[in-house]
Structure 1
Amino acid sequence: MSYRFLVLSVIFLTSFCSVSYAETDRQKIKAEITQANSSLKKARDNSNNIKVVIDKNKSEINRLSRKQYDAENKITSITKQLIESNKTKQTLTAEVEVEKEALAKQLLAMYSSGEESHLRLLLKQDDPSDISRTTKYFEYLNKSRIDRIKTVRKKLTRVKKIEGDISKDRERLKSLRVTLGDDRKSLQSELNKNAAALKQAKRVEVSKQKKLNTLKKEEAALQAVFEKLIRAQKAQAAKEAKAAALAKKKAEAKKAPAKVAKAAPKATPKAAPKSTKKSGKRTTLNFTANKPFSSLRGRLSWPVKGTISKKYGSARNQKQKWKGVLIKAPGGQRVHAVARGKIEYAGPLRGYGYVVIIQHDKSYRTLYTYNRAVYRKTGDIVQAGDVIAAVGNAGEDEDTALYFEIRKGSVPKNPAAWCK
């Protein structure tokens, strides 16, 4: 009986200990899960805070880049003005010297003829007609001398004013150069902050899948911008077509000019653009405003000087491909419009930095992203070669580069087939 009791007691104690250990394990696991969730929340909050910092830095970089660009343009303008002012001053100074020399010769001639030349003529008792002619000659000489003196005074006054303007321009130039130097230091400081924030953002990335999801969202946001622009273009075209149809209907309602109204559309078919296409093939570098974008295939200039690091169609990651080209270029380098067009979008877009989208003819558009700053605004008309932005960071990459796309509608085209 006692043996049996002893066995039952051992079994009971063993079971109790097992239950106790299992409960302890559950508590440990629960604590670890809570800690992991807390760490994940902190990581997400940190990541969001870093993105806010990056966006703020990008905005400041854009402001400073624009300020620097404006200052450089002013310096160039004032420098040209100084060169022109100096040229004018040299010309006027030379003219004053000529006038002075002529006056000196006149005074010398006057001195040689004597101070009382009129009296001497009368005392000589020469022919009155000779005296009259000589007197007239002296009057002309005196008038000429007075006119020369006035001219010299005017030119000296003008030279003095130009010298004053030159002095002011030099002071302005000096001040602008100091300001530009300070702005460059501020810009470099912001770029350094941005680079540090980008490195920190890389360290807090949770996984490759999260990064892929972010890229997909950013690409979808960019695609949404394009689709919005295309819808607006179609709506405008439909509105214009409706207005044209209404105008045609009103014209047909009038009996007398009905035939004339029918003849008018024949005068404006789309024959002119075809001839423009043919003439466009003869031009290689000079782009004109009336040249269709489609005729510039293979003759467009690249938007920035650099090295293509990512080709069109190459793998961006496991599930995405590049729809344009990535051109490595120094940060701050000027980005140029490749053809004439209207800026449809100019501003920041998450994941793409500062973005510029230019609409060309026949639904063609060009896209310029990863800019640190944009120098134009929505609605501006730009010509081929016009500066529109400055090169910035390639997304989360530390390298500076420009991402460039060409699209017809929403369909991407290979930029290498269009640019030489």
Structure 2
Amino acid sequence: MRDKIKHLGNILRASALCTGALLCLTFSQPSLASNQNQLEGVKKEISRQQDQLSTKQKKINTLQQSLKQQELAIAATAQKIHKADNQLKQLDRSISKLQQEQQRLQQQQLGQQEMLKELLSTQYRQGKNSQLASLLSGEDSTELDRMSIYAERLSEARAKTLDELAATTTELQLKAHQLTQQRQQQKTLLTQLKTEKSTLENEQRQRHKTVRTIRGQLKSDSQYLSELKSNEQRLVKEIAKAKAAAEAARRVPMDGLARHKGKLPWPVTGAILHHYDTPQQGELRWKGMVIGKATGSQVKAVYSGKIVFADWLRGYGLMLVIDHGKGDMSFYGYNQTLLKKVGDVVQANEAIALVGDSGGQERSGLYFEIRRKGNPTNPKGWLKR
């Protein structure tokens, strides 16, 4: 009897186990399908987000390319204005010099005319006392010879004065013609300047719209941080290329900056908007400093060297890099236009660019950086205090 009861219990337990297994199987299959569907949904959402990010990045890249073209156009126009301004200044100086020469010649002409009048008057008076009258009056031959020589000298002086007066008159006419030409050139240049400045204003308006759109696309901190990191990588890459090119083409002896620490002239004077090594965005810190200055102000080289980079660089705008030798380089970014090209040798305090806000900056200023053997160092410590 005990064995029968035991056998029945085993059968019941086995039955219960089978029932539980069937129940588990029944409930687990729909749950697994649901999870699979959720996983597929997540994958699709990730793919959609990635597509959105890719589309957004492409849009940002396109906008940055537009910004580059606009800022290069602004640079070309600004350079034309700079050149025309210089020509106008030279022309103004030339016109002023011509006017002074014209006044001097007019005074000279008056003097020559007075001298001619005096000579004519003297000759007239001397003519009244002619040789025939002298002969009839019984004067001696010695006196007659002296009077004859005097008359000859008087005639020569008159002829010379007439020649000088004619030359002065011709020179005056030439100066008047040159003056008319240069005033016409001045008028043409002023009209050209007005047109170029109008073009510049239109280009700057278009640029501001592009900058606003880019900033709208980069409104999240993570996107902006990513953009800054990419910009820094581009700069490092360009530094390496520029350094290699400088080493390959080094023909100008350059002694580096080591002996001039704390003595270098400032590239521009103005308030420091961003200091070296202060927070820029997230964990990123400034590798140089930004000095506020009005658009169009001259940027000066801090020391002699050779231009190894002069182009538009994303995030830095129109950038110029000078190799000073011994691994020392100075960087000048955000410029409106560049006045030098790669290969040019420059001296300390020489104008190399004009201040601007290229690279999508919100305000005008100069980005200035010094690197030694590729490593950034505080630029302020190298400048005169």
What TM-score, normalized to structure 2?
0.83
CA contact (8 A) 2:254 2:326 kept: no
2:290 corresponding residue in structure 1: 326
- Please point out which of 233, 239, 244 is paired with 1:231: 244
Tell me if 1:419 matches 2:378.
no
Match of 2:275 among 311, 321, 326: 311
TM-aligned CA distance change 1:184 to 1:409, over 3 Å? same
1:398 maps to a residue whose letter is: E
Q: Counterpart of 2:227 in structure 1: which amino acid?
A: T
SS of alignment partner, residue 312 of structure 2: strand
Residue 180 in 1 paired to residue 193 in 2? Answer: yes
Amino acid at match of 1:123: L
Q: Residues 315 and 321 of structure 1 are in contact (CA less than 8 Å); yes or no, is this contact kept in structure 2? A: yes
Residue deviations 1:53-89, cap 9 Å, x none?
Answer: 2111111111101111111111111111111111111
Q: Does the CA contact (< 8 Å) of 2:255 and 2:325 recur in 1?
A: no
Structure 2: which amino acid aligns with 1:179?
A: Q
Report if the CA contact (8 A) 1:326-1:404 is conserved: yes
Relative distance call for 1:360 and 1:120 in structure 2 (3 A) is farther
2:92 is aligned, of 79, 87, 108, to 79
Cα distance in 2, alignment partners of residues 157 and 95 from structure 1: 13
**1: distance between equivalents of 2:104 and 2:243?**
58
2:182 pairs, out of 162, 165, 169, with 169
* Superposed structure 1 runs of 4+ greater than 6 Å apart: 25-35, 289-292
In 1, Cα distance between equivalents of 2:193 and 2:122: 59
Matched AA of 1:358: I
- CA distance 1:108–1:323, change in 2 (3 Å): same
Deviation of 1:349 (Å): 1.3
- Give yes or no for contact 1:392–1:400 (8 Å, CA) kept in 2: yes
Instruction: Supply the distance in 1 between the matched residues of 2:161 and 2:297 (Cα, whole angstroms).
Output: 55
Aligned to 1:254: none
2:341 corresponds to 1:377: yes
Structure of higher CA gyration radius: 2
Q: TM-score, normalised by structure 1?
A: 0.76
Letter in 2 for 1:412: P
Which position in structure 1 is the counterpart of 2:205? Answer: 192
Runs of 5+ consecutive residues of structure 1 not aligned to the other structure: 1-14, 241-288
How far 1:104 moved relative to its partner? 1.2
How far did 1:232 drift?
Answer: 4.2
Distance 2:329 2:302 in 1: 11
Secondary structure of the corresponding residue to residue 378 of structure 1: coil
Structure 2 CA distance for aligned equivalents of residues 60 and 394 of structure 1: 11
**1:59 aligned to 2:72?**
yes
Residue in structure 1 matched with residue 14 of structure 2 by the alignment? none
CA displacement, residues 335-369 of structure 1 (integer Å, 9 cap, x when unaligned)? 11122221111111122111111122433221101
Alignment check: 8 A CA contact 1:62 1:374 kept: yes
2:166 corresponds to which residue?
153
Aligned length: 352
Q: Which residue of 2 aligns with 1:341?
A: 305
Determine whether 1:117 maps to 2:130.
yes
Distance 1:223 1:43 in 2: 25
Give identity over the alignment, percent: 27
Aligned to 1:102, which of 110, 115, 134? 115
Q: Deviations over 1:357-412 (max 9, x none)?
A: 11224332211011121111111111222221112216433111110112222122
Deviation at 1:41, TM superposition (A): 5.1
Q: Give the secondary-structure state (helix, strand or coil) at the position aligned to 1:360.
A: strand
Distance 2:258 2:140 in 1: 90
Instruction: Report the alpha carbon displacement of residue 38 of structure 1 after superposing the two structures with TM.
Output: 6.1
Contact 1:230 / 1:409 at 8 angstroms: preserved in 2?
no
1:87 counterpart letter in structure 2: Q
Counterpart CA distance in 2 for 1:413 and 1:209 is: 27
Please give the alpha-carbon distance, in whole angstroms, between the structure 2 residues aligned to 1:315 and 1:33: 32
Q: Equivalent residue of 2:336, what SS? A: strand
Question: Distance between the aligned counterparts of 1:105 and 1:218, measured in 2?
Answer: 83
Aligned to 1:391: 355
Equivalent residue letter for 2:141: P
Q: 1:394–1:401: 8 Å Cα contact kept in structure 2?
A: no
